[in-house]
Structure formats: C-alpha cells, structure tokens
Amino acid sequence: MIRACLRILMMARMADRTRVLLGSRNGLARPCRIWTGAQSRGGKRPGSGPYGSVWVPDVGGVRAHVAAAWIAGVLAEPRVPPGMNLDHRCERTLCIEESHLELMPAEDNRALRWTRRKKAA
C-alpha cells in the first residue's frame, strides 16, 4: 500500500515539474520531457550536464535524494538490477521521458559517456 501511494505521489510531482520539448534527438519517436525541478550542479566537462533530483518522502525512517530520471525509470520498470545504470538515449541529462531511458551495465554506461564527451569536445 505504501509503495503504491509513493508511486502515485512521485508521478504527480514529476508531472508538475516537467516541460515537453518539441522535436526529439537521435531519431527518437517521442519528445523529451525536461525536468524543471531541483537539479544537481552538473560537471565542468563537455557533455556532463546537471541531473534532475527529487526528495523521496520519509518511509520507514529513510528519506533519500534521488535522480529524477532514476525515479522515472523505476516507475517504468520497477525491477532495476544492481550494477545497472540508466542511459539517456537523447543525451539530455534532464530528460525523464521513459522511452529515452535505457538500462545498461554501469561499465557500458561509463564507456558511452566517455565517447559522448570526446564527441562534444
């Protein structure tokens, strides 16, 4: 019951804190949904932009600061295996469109990020 309530709450919060961009990148069918709520600082390197972030309500004594894209990915696919990361296929770190998020091994995600940074520089 608590998990279902949290899911509804998070979906409502995410709907309030997003905007849809017209068009898409990399040939993706759906446009990006850009997170407009709280954001991380982002890196100084090319291609390392800020990530959306959200506080997850206190449940069972734990309150967590979580990446907005991770919440979107978990809402779309609740069973995320350990050692996996979400990749933004659109290359927009603030995008939370579920169809733009792809689960991949953390090592592959790091390699892809490195390739994209070299391309952006």
Task: Check which CATH number belongs to the domain holding 76 and give it.
Answer: 3.90.75
Give the pLDDT score at 108: 94
For 88, list phi and psi in degrees, rounded to 5.
-90, 100
The rounded average pLDDT for each run of 10 residues, N- to C-terminus, in the chain (121 residues) is 51 59 66 82 67 70 63 63 84 85 89 82 65
In this prediction the pTM is 0.65
Please give the tally of structural domains in the chain.
1
Q: Are 42 and 87 in contact (CB under 8 A)?
A: no
Residue 5: per-residue pLDDT:
47
Report pLDDT for 21. Answer: 60
| 3 state DSSP class of 109 | helix
H/E stretch holding 3 reads: helix 2-16
Domain containing 101 equals 2-120
Are the beta carbons of 74 and 10 closer than 8 angstroms? Answer: no
